């Protein structure tokens, strides 16, 4: 059984082990494979029967050119890089890794919020630069400091990750509003479910934790921003395409949106002409919410489990049921 990993570096830059996967077959791991050169992908898959990918696209052309593929495992929860419908027609299950980063992504959303509220990194650097040592007062701050207790957080998308963010925010004294297509009893224990318009109108902080679907693409735009409070804080460590970036940049520069904390953008890596790079009070990190070692180990463990289940004839976490 030949197994190929097309882009393993972000999953395992050297602090994890591929050994458990290697014990299941003849394993080849590539750190990176071109996202645009389909021929390179085809050449690297060759006659492999099990293919692991994170962001390298598995298109119809790739599937047609690699007839030995029997199973595709995605090193992530999102699976839009695979032509799942065509894989299903070919009888190829596509398996993902659900819920591996719930705690980490929720934690990171709060980290973005706290950085906006306190500018910890900036003030630490100011101290190291000698500004406190030479300050005539016993303390100083360069930005407004914001207390969150008593404020309202609205969370769009209230599944596992949204609820994790909500629990942390609630523990800090915030009121939680949630908008989700499928309200749950677990969610009701944390938040009040409201319509989207009410959430936009009432929230001091808005966090995006929803998947990217046609109906959610660009949902944060000029019109929805206009419905928000003046001075709202926006957090997005879900999918960059949820936001119309020029509209958000305009809102940041006008002060309508006080600040944004973003771990994702529409095109990754970010392009130098992205308007958010020049926007006021815009904090951008390089899509690392998911990346603590603990989360990546869960990915590794689940992928091994997915491969084992497939080899036993009982594939798990299949997203394109045949």
Q: Are 18 and 73 in contact (CB under 8 A)?
A: no
Q: Are 262 and 239 in contact (CB under 8 A)?
A: no
Q: 268, 271, 293, 294: which is the annotated catalytic residue? A: 268
Q: Which stretches within 46-101 are classed as H helix?
A: 60-65, 84-89
Measuring CA to CA, which residue among 223, 222, 219, 259 is closest to residue 240? 219
Measuring CA to CA, which residue among 196, 208, 209, 205 is closest to residue 174? 205
Is 128 marked active-site? no
Measuring CA to CA, which residue among 182, 200, 289 is closest to residue 240? 289
Q: 119, 123, 239, 296: which is the annotated catalytic residue? A: 239
Measuring CA to CA, which residue among 225, 250, 233, 221 is closest to residue 174? 233
Tokens of 270: 């970010």
Is 202 marked active-site? no
Q: 118, 217, 287, 316: which is the annotated catalytic residue? A: 287
Tokens of 309: 């289940």
Is 287 marked active-site? yes
* 242 DSSP assignment: G
Q: Are 188 and 200 in contact (CB under 8 A)?
A: no
CA contacts within 13 A on the Cβ side of 190:
25
Q: Which residues are catalytic?
A: 239, 268, 287
């Amino acid at each position: 059984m030949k197994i190929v990993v097309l882009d393993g570096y972000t999953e395992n830059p050297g602090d994890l082990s591929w050994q458990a996967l290697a014990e299941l077959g003849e394993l080849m791991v590539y750190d990176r494979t071109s996202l645009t050169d389909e021929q390179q992908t085809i050449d690297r898959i060759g006659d492999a029967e099990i293919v692991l990918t994170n962001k390298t696209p598995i298109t119809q052309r790739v599937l047609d050119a690699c007839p030995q593929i029997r199973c595709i495992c995605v090193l992530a929860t999102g699976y839009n890089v695979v032509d799942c419908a065509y894989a299903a027609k070919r009888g190829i299950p596509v398996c993902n890794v659900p819920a591996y980063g719930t705690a980490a992504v929720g934690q990171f959303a709060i980290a973005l919020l706290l950085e906006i509220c306190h500018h910890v990194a900036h003030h630490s650097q100011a101290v190291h630069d000698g500004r406190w040592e030479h300050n005539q007062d016993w303390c100083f701050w360069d930005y407004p400091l914001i207390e969150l207790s008593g404020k309202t957080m609205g969370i769009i998308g209230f599944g596992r990750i949204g609820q994790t963010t909500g629990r942390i925010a609630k523990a800090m004294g915030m009121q939680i509003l949630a908008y989700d297509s499928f309200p749950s009893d677990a969610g009701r224990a944390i938040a009040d479910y409201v319509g989207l318009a009410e959430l936009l109108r009432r929230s001091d902080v808005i966090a995006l934790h929803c998947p990217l679907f046609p109906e959610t693409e660009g949902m944060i735009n000029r019109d929805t921003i206009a419905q928000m409070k003046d001075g709202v804080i926006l957090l997005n460590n879900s999918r960059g395409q949820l936001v119309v970036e020029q509209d958000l940049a305009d809102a940041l520069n006008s002060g309508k949106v006080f600040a944004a904390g973003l771990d994702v953008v529409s095109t990754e890596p970010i392009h130098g002409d992205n308007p958010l790079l020049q926007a006021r009070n815009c904090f951008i990190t390089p899509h690392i919410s998911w990346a603590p070692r603990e989360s990546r180990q869960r990915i590794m463990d689940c992928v091994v489990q997915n491969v084992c289940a497939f080899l036993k004839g009982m594939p798990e976490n299949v997203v394109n049921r045949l």
